[in-house]
A and B are shown apart, each in its own frame.
Chain A
Amino acid sequence: MDIKDIIKPENRVYGKTPLLTDNVMHYCPGCSHGTVHKLIAEVIDEMGIQEQTIGVSPVGCSVFAYNYLDIDWQQAAHGRAPALATATKRLHPEKYVFTYQGDGDLASIGTAEIMHACNRGENIVVIFINNAIYGMTGGQMAPTTLIGMKTATTPYGRDPKLHGNPLKITELIAQLDGTCFVTRQSVHNPGNVRKAKKAIRKAFENSMMDKGTSFVEIVGTCNSGWKLSPVQSNEWMVENMFPKYPLGDIKDI
């Protein structure tokens, strides 16, 4: 069979969702942010809620998320996305409101905001991209950086005596009575991408059921910060990140 006979509109089984704009993403080649953006876009498209969704972008590499998903957006001061999302959802309870935050944004400068928003049980979705590093500013240590992991500010590896311990903030969030769904996912292979998408969809659905906050951590890669190729980064993540940050649902009520 000729390739030309296969490449026909009626045979198309997968392609870019129209909810993603045609802008070329500024992310490094292979960065997990792009894959997660796509999943959120597909969920919004499939749920038919483009007009009812408001995202809050963070400070970090994903600050420009608003250039890529064709929905309404706000952009928060560093770490304050949950506070902005709280106000937005309370003023517009009919809207689907989500934050998109990195580990520096959510687990460092924004620790107070995420803890209290989740403890209050705001009916929002939190998408938390844990790449164990400050990607945007050049690869400094984050609260989630692994013991022994080399970063710009831990050139000899993270030493718990000097730099403290990796913060499993998702497990802490699961302890809070305000959260209804807390899960940890990844997007490094097709099976995990599909699972992560299901989790994101469930989180969006929860946000209209008055159940409280849904929190989806995605363990991701920052290959530039980690100084590995994109494919090596995925392998390194499986070997080193997953033992500390195991995948799966932590809470689902």
Chain B
Amino acid sequence: MLLSYLKIAWKVLMRRKFFTFINLFGVSFTLMILLVVMAMFDQLTGNHAPEKRNDRMLFISRITEKMRGEDGWMMNPVSSYFTDTYVRPMHTPALVGLTSIVSNATAFTSNKLLPLDVRYTDGNFWQIMEFDFRSGRGLTGAEVKQAAPVCVLNEATALTYFGTTTDVVGREIEIDLKRYRVAGVVANVAAAHLFSYADVWLPCTLSKDYGGAGRLEGSFIPILLAPSAGQVQAVRDEYQQVMARVPISDPKHITNLYSNADPIMASISRELMPMKHGLDGDGLAQFYLICTALALLFMLLPALNLVNLNVTRILERSAEIGVRKAFGATGTHLVSQFLVENVVLAVVGGLLGLGLAAGALALVNESHVLAYANFALSGSVFGWALVLALAFGLMSGVYPAWKMSRLNPVAALRGSGEQK
């Protein structure tokens, strides 16, 4: 039965090229935009190199100090002192790594200035992250401890500076008038990887912000690796206990300290959601809710348009409905037939949308708007595309199909859309 519905659906759609085209355009364009957003989202939060263990990673992206008196707040990344004193001794994480926020530096090639984004890291960072090494290796704990002048470069920097990406390991690069030996070269990391992206990675011990005894604020972001995805909450909880013990250095001016170890999504939603500086929770649930609502709203308009087109189409086809009923079709038959028609249309539209999205992402990647962007349609985005297309097909098909199945056959045969 399904097969014959599919066959009929296909025939009808092929015969009604204009309707099909309009319908497909609406579906595929909407899906394209949703898919592009989702691909970007996926890049940000999925398990992609170097954050292949994103589901186990937690980030302490800032510490918030509430000032006495009026509504004053100070938000800063933490210091390496804070990390060493309070974060590294934690029991629940399997590993604690450290990265700085990205800062700017300059290298000189023989004929031009090369602006670089620099990130200072510890040795554990290279164990938590899984970079794609083109050659060499990451920084080791020993190198970091000795404050050795070594670095890791991304491919683009190696290529611009040395003119090649092979045999770069062991050579020296001069950045901000200091010389570093290249320990490894990694594939370019897109700027969407908020906590790992850079052009050059250096030992954190070389950062001017390193240390800062007694100070909580600095320019560093501890990264905690939970032993398993299931342990993430335990790590978050332990960090809360740790925070409760952190003494306020300046009680005259500061009344409270807040900080959270957040998985990637929560750290983003805490930034984005108007949640009273993120103190009322990470806002993740609300964030997802809003995203879903926006997506649905975004789909609603084309879906309503399709409903409208479909209702018109039904009235056009009322004689067909009358005939089918006269020859024994039940309401269920007609609803199924019509839904299959609609879903086929939506899925074809979905596949087109997928193609369009791939094209749009390729354009974004080419345009260099975002450094080293390599947005791609993953399997999960593809799956989502199909789910969305199906949702579309159902959303825009159920009501018209139901309405259609209620047509009185005698009235339908006379061509009026009178209801039973």
Are the chains A and B members of one assembly? no
Residues of A within 8 A of B (CB): none
Residues of B within 8 A of A (CB): none
